[in-house]
Amino acid sequence: MKPSPELLNDVLDEVRPLIGQGRVASYIPALEEVPADKLGVAVCYNDGDIITAGDADEPFSIQSISKVLSLTLALQNYGPLEIWDRVGKEPSGQAFNSMIQLEMEHGIPRNPFINAGALVVCDLLQSRLSAPRQRMLEFVRDLSANPHIYYDKTVAKSEMDHSDRNAAIAYLMRSFGNFSNEVMPVLQTYFHYCALRMSCVDLAKAFNYLANKGLSLGAEKTIVSHTQSKQVNALLATCGLYDGAGEFAYRVGMPGKSGVGGGIVAVVPGEMSIAVWSPELDPSGNSLAGTAALELLAERIGRSIF
């Protein structure tokens, strides 16, 4: 049985009191200015049904959620060894932007969802796509069936103005021979991907391929193979929430990916994709009320991969 909009509204109402207990990302002004009380959820069933509540149609900065999309583009353009020789598949057990582990492991990032790993993936795309930014835009517009998705140039520029640590990460990987292109253009691509503005509805639609054996919403296109969709879900389950993946699996029980814009996408394989949005973050950098909403929703609809 599918949840009613009322059930989704109830879930949002129950978690709304958490707003005020987290902190909106503040490292760039464009994120800091987002109202802390935004709260939205969208559920996209594999049959195309979409149920929403709250601010589900309002676009926000998807940030690290884009790391799944860039990995997916890489899976479409590279063989598995070309990717997995350069980035691992293991949880990092460290803060998302730590360089310590990267140095100890000789420039091979732990997984594609920490910054270092996503930068390697962008380096791959930079090498093989003629216009990696335009390609991504076409890709997400197509997945979400929304031609109005765009890059927030203010966010991208602001990220670039605060890019020293990511530049350090990229140069460190270059020093180990695990970065092929000039650093700055890849950072530009990476920050544009992070600066995609999408709504919960856009995201739930876009990620439905992970719930539906790799097929796009409506099953018209194969985005990745069924095996690959399971593999991406496995990576999300173990590495998708920074250093809070274990807690998320324990509480929510779904593969997911968060961004510091406050969005989280989650997947119930074979059934549905879900997106939530609440800008305040917990200490691990994941949406505080968003995680609580997913936990509650999972319980109410009786879904868990475990």
222 three-class SS:
strand
The helix/strand/coil state of 71 is: helix
Selected range binding a second copy among 14-22, 28-36, 147-155, 161-169, rule: CB under 8 A: 161-169
Q: Choose the stretch contacting a second copy; rule: CB under 8 A; options: 33-41, 127-135, 271-279, 298-306.
A: 298-306
Which of 11, 24, 61, 64 is flagged as catalytic?
64
- Residue 76 CA to residue 217 CA, distance in Å, equals 17
Site for a second copy in 169-188 (CB under 8 A): 169-172, 174-175, 183
Smallest distance from the beta carbon of 271 to a second copy, in angstroms?
12
Contact status, residue 200 vs residue 137, Cβ threshold 8 Å? no
Catalytic residue from among 43, 260, 265, 267 = 260
Active site residue 140: no
Could you tell me the end-to-end alpha-carbon distance of the chain, in angstroms, rounded to an integer?
A: 19
CA angle, corner 218, sides to 214 and 219, nearest 5? 40
Residue selected from 74, 245, 293, 294 as contacting a second copy according to rule CB under 8 A: 245
> Dihedral (C-alpha) 115, 120, 121, 124: value to the nearest 10 degrees?
160
Find the helix packing angle between 66-77 and 132-144, rounded to 10°.
Answer: 110
β-bridge partners, 222? 215
CB 224 within 8 A of CB 214: yes
**166 assigned ligand-binding residue:** yes
CA 96 to centroid of chain Cα atoms? 13
- Does position 220 interact with a second copy (CB under 8 A)? The reply is no
64 is catalytic: yes
Active site annotation includes 87: no
Query: Restricting to residues 55-94, which ones interact with a second copy according to CB under 8 A?
Result: 88-94
Could you tell me the smallest distance in angstroms from the CB atom of residue 216 to a second copy?
18
Least Å distance between CB 39 and a second copy? 25
Q: Which amino acid is at 212?
A: N
Q: Is 190 annotated as a binding residue?
A: yes
67 is catalytic: yes
The residues binding a second copy (CB under 8 A) are: 88-94, 98-101, 103-104, 110-111, 164-165, 167-172, 174-175, 183, 229-231, 233-235, 237-239, 243-247, 249-250, 253, 255, 269, 304-306
